[in-house]
Amino acid sequence: MAKIKDWELNVKIKTEFVRHWVDVQHIDISTTRGVAHVKGKLVFKGGKVDTKSELAVAKQLKSTERGIRSIMGLRDIRFKFAGWEKAGGVWKALRGKKAQQDD
């Protein structure tokens, strides 16, 4: 089987975000040697995610991440979303100074 190219991983990652209602115009995806870096602002489209509920957004992030990590050829992925962090395997909304530093 041929090795998947980084640009192909970017396309597959972007597709996974779209499947989970994330507006990809607000995020940046770059991949080097199979390791993806995703950063930006989380904006959801279509009204399918209750953005006022931290729990709903965290669940959507977990589901999206699971889909992305299942992509063949992806070695690792690192996220840096404004206002969100993953700590101990759990997505959490940032508050106060931490959230402002992330913007």
Give domain status of residue 100, yes or no. Answer: no
User: What number of other Cβ atoms are within 10 A of residue 68's Cβ?
Assistant: 23
CATH number of 26's domain = 3.30.1340
Asked if pLDDT for residue 99 goes beyond 90, the answer is no
- Is 50 within a domain? yes
Q: How many domains are there within the chain?
A: 1
What is the rounded CA–CA span in Å between residue 9 and residue 31? 7
Which amino acid does the sequence have at 10?
A: N
Between CA 74 and CA 97 the distance in angstroms is 33
Does residue 97 belong to any structural domain of this protein?
no
Q: Among residues of the chain, what percentage have pLDDT more than 70?
A: 91
| Separation CA 56–CA 26 (nearest Å) | 19
- Does the structure show a pLDDT above 70 at 15? yes
Looking at the domain assignment, is residue 90 inside a domain?
Answer: no
Q: Give the pair of three-digit tokens for residue 4.
A: 């998947």
More confident position, 32 or 47: 32
Tell me which residue range forms the domain holding 30: 6-84
pTM for the whole structure:
0.87
If you compute the radius of gyration of the chain from its CA atoms, what whole number of angstroms results? 14
pLDDT of residue 3: 80
Is residue 93 assigned to a domain? no
pLDDT for res 100? 52
Q: Is residue 1 part of a domain?
A: no
Q: Measured between alpha carbons, how far is 64 from 17 in angstroms, rounded to an integer?
A: 6
Tens-place pLDDT, residues 62-75: 999 999 999 999 99
Mean pLDDT of the chain: 91
Q: Is residue 62 part of a domain?
A: yes
